[in-house]
């Protein structure tokens, strides 16, 4: 069996896991690895430094290399390196969710034009087998909805806020100290990471190209300990949910934001750094795939799996892996968040006086919004009360109009929180 020659770009945590994993495969040879610093200590025993170079371009231009494995992340220089690799006749394996979200259409089109394949199992949900199952085993299904937890950092924070009855700021600091959150956690806690992943996941699942700039994004930084407490009392957990669904109007509802998720559902019990994806379609019905969403070996498992698949295909046919190629020729209009239909959790501070709750209910009724539950949570020293409301289904623009009217009418002193409530997943 001839060996497939691999050129790696990057040797960080995941790339180190890939390197270690591939040592057990006789038909794969890693011939060059691009790094920033050749002399940096690495967690790899007996690493041959002759494999290392600081010139990444020399790897993508090396005619002897069959597959480029890009594991540096970000847009540049990754985009230039992958583009050059494809033009030089190389297949690509990547775990770069940001690059695929922002430039996937361009790169996949370039790959097809040059009869090359880009595989990206590690870019969406770490070690969870997802892309290949959707493209192969689930290929007979018309997938109508995806509900997913795609970011381990935010799930860790929300889980600990729940378990420890702690504030967002306190748990974030703990997560940073433990290495679960970056010093600058913005990409995770404000939903960018999950949105990048969802752009690609929604595209392959709904079979329509979804543009990253069309995805509504909201993070978890405004979720309070009280929100977590009230969610539990009402039978829910709060999770950062990546949602994609085809609508009856032939548009796509694609968004990332915190949601109340019923405790009766699987996603409500996905805790700490674990990820999960619930797929709804016909004829499968509903299936949930769950597992480690990040880390050295979980993500390395997905990346190495892509490499192994390529190693068995290269040289067998002039057109390899047709099912794994991008076949999305059209985009779809994404529903504006104001036109989405949801249930809502509202936490309101109101004056403790007769008729306030009644007036609140009347204003909601005038706008056609039914209330599923209304709870008053005690009276403060300043004679205000906290009112917790769960609405029935309504359009976002209508609930925002109601909130504006309530404030103008003096019915509420403050909107503390507004969080969307998931239909049972």
Active site residues: 197
SS3 236: strand
Pairing of strands 341-351, 414-421: antiparallel
DSSP 63: T
The span from the CA of 82 to the CA of 92, in Å, is 7
Give CA–CA dist 126/422, Å, rounded: 24
Q: Taking CA 72 as the corner, what is the angle to CA 67 and CA 73, rounded to the nearest 5 degrees?
A: 110
| Cβ atoms within 10 Å of 150's Cβ, excluding its own | 29
Please, is 231 exposed, middle or buried when counting C-beta atoms within 10 Å of its C-beta (0-12, 13-18, 19+)?
buried
Q: Are 275 and 292 in contact (CB under 8 A)?
A: yes
End-to-end CA distance of the chain: 47
Query: Distance (Å, rounded) from C-alpha 126 to C-alpha 156?
Result: 15
Peptide bond between residue 421 and the one before it cis (omega within 30 degrees of 0): no
Strands 414-421, 252-262: parallel, antiparallel or unpaired by DSSP? parallel
| Rounded Cα–Cα distance for residues 275 and 288 (Å) | 10
């Amino acid at each position: 069996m001839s060996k497939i020659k691999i050129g790696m770009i990057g040797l960080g945590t995941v790339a180190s896991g890939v390197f270690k994993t591939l040592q057990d495969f006789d038909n794969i040879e890693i011939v060059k690895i691009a790094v920033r610093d050749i002399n940096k200590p690495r967690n790899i025993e007996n690493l041959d430094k002759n494999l290392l170079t600081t010139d990444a371009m020399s790897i993508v231009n090396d005619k002897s290399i069959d597959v480029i494995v890009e594991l540096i992340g970000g847009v540049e220089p990754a985009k230039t390196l992958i583009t050059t690799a494809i033009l030089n006749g190389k297949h690509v394996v990547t775990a770069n969710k940001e690059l695929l979200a922002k430039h996937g259409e361009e790169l996949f089109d370039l790959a097809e034009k040059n009869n090359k394949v880009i595989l990206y199992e590690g870019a969406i949900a770490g070690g969870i087998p997802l892309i290949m199952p959707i493209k192969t085993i689930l290929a007979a299904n018309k997938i109508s909805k995806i509900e997913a937890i795609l970011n381990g950092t935010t799930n860790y924070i929300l889980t600990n806020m729940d378990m420890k009855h702690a504030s967002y700021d306190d748990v974030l600091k703990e997560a940073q100290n433990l290495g679960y959150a970056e010093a600058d956690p913005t990409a995770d806690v404000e939903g960018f990471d999950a949105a990048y992943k969802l752009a690609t996941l929604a595209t392959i699942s709904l079979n329509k190209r979804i543009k990253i700039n069309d995805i509504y994004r909201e993070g978890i930084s405004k979720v309070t300990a009280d929100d977590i407490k009230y969610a539990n009392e009402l039978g829910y957990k709060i999770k950062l949910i990546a949602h994609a669904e085809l609508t009856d109007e032939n548009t796509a509802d694609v968004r990332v934001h915190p949601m109340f998720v019923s405790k009766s559902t699987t996603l409500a019990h996905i805790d700490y750094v674990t990820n999960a994806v619930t797929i709804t379609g016909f004829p499968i019905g509903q299936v949930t795939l769950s597992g480690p969403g990040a880390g050295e070996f979980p993500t390395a498992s997905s990346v190495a799996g892509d490499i192994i698949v390529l190693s068995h295909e290269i040289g067998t046919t002039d057109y390899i892996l047709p099912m794994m190629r991008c076949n999305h020729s059209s985009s779809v209009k994404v529903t504006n968040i104001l036109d989405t239909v949801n249930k809502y959790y509202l936490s309101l501070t109101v004056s403790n006086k007769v008729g306030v709750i009644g007036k609140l209910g009347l204003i909601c009724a005038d706008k056609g919004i039914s209330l599923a539950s209304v709870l008053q949570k005690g009276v403060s020293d300043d004679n205000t009360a906290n009112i917790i409301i769960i609405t029935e289904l309504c359009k976002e623009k209508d609930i925002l109009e109601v909130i504006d009217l309530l404030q103008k009418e003096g019915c509420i002193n403050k909107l503390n929180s507004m969080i969307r409530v998931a239909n049972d997943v």
